Chain A
């Protein structure tokens, strides 16, 4: 898969069918023998055309991924959003220590007293607590845990 690019596509890069694909395929994709034919039929295009368009959208960077999204918790693992309030003069030092943990997936600097926000992804629920405690021990700073309690997902919609 191509990496997401930090480039904005010109509006004419996507035609109305591409936009319809982006919207429709966020909701799901059939588990059938010829799923592209089936999903394409709902969009008024052939399966072959849908495959070509998905490949192009991927190569353009309009989509970052197409496929199954797995639930870490259902696979026995865990995800947790975490935040830390890192003093400005220690930011780089703390960042190095936090990022050194392979369990740290995404990490963002944000505009708040809680200025470092990262996601821990571990292969067991206990791994979250263990990694957070390790980071606290290494940095002397508190790691606040914000596990998801409920997800309200509908998806992002592009202007059709």
Chain B
């Protein structure tokens, strides 16, 4: 666990809704939190190096971009192949949220989760077959779970202190 000081936390609070769309965004953040631009850049660089900031990036809206169908595919992959095969599956252009997770035997034998996106259920099913062929005999079984309803969706927010 990484210790964050008050200045780090103020930068997190100032940027968690998004990075300002201005020519010098770190100067804008600096002005908002009472630090210098150089200090904001240095602290954000350090946070990125420590993994507190995973990346600074856009999050595409799959649905708006036509990927209206998605399924949570789950796979039982041999433990000695999971790192190599997980990286290959995560690199596929239609895959997001690709994770190794623990099995929960006997009910749940699956240890690789990968969200598959497509323009239709049929397309997602086709991608499921592609993933199955990449995994080959290293995969002992799989399933795909489609979402039927969004029951709750809220963003993560660091609480104000």
Chain A 10-45 residues near chain B, CB threshold 8 A:
11, 14, 21-22, 25-29, 31-37
Write out the residue numbers on chain B whose beta carbons fall within 8 Å of the beta carbon of A51: 21-23
Write out the residue numbers on chain B whose beta carbons fall within 8 Å of the beta carbon of A150: 82-83, 86, 99-100
Write out the residue numbers on chain A whose beta carbons fall within 8 Å of the beta carbon of B113: 81, 146
Write out the residue numbers on chain B whose beta carbons fall within 8 Å of the beta carbon of A54: 21, 58
Q: Is A90 in the interface zone, CB < 8 Å from B?
A: no
B127 CB, nearest partner CB in chain A, Å: 12
B64 touches A60 (CB 8 A): yes
Q: State which size class the interface on B falls in.
A: 35 or more
Q: State which size class the interface on A falls in.
A: 35 or more
Chain B 35-71 residues near chain A, CB threshold 8 A:
37, 41, 44-45, 48, 50-68
Write out the residue numbers on chain B whose beta carbons fall within 8 Å of the beta carbon of A75: 2, 4, 12, 52, 158
Q: Which of A1, A64, A95, A157 contacts B93 (CB 8 A)?
A: A157
Q: Is B133 in the interface zone, CB < 8 Å from A?
A: no
Write out the residue numbers on chain B whose beta carbons fall within 8 Å of the beta carbon of A152: 86-87, 89-91, 98-100
9 A-B pairs within 8 Å (CB atoms) are namely: A36-B21, A62-B65, A72-B156, A99-B152, A106-B152, A109-B151, A121-B156, A144-B108, A150-B86
- Residues of A at the B interface (CB closer than 8 Å) are 1, 4-9, 11, 14, 21-22, 25-29, 31-37, 47-48, 51, 54-55, 57-58, 60-76, 81, 95, 99, 104-112, 114, 116-118, 121, 123, 144, 146-158
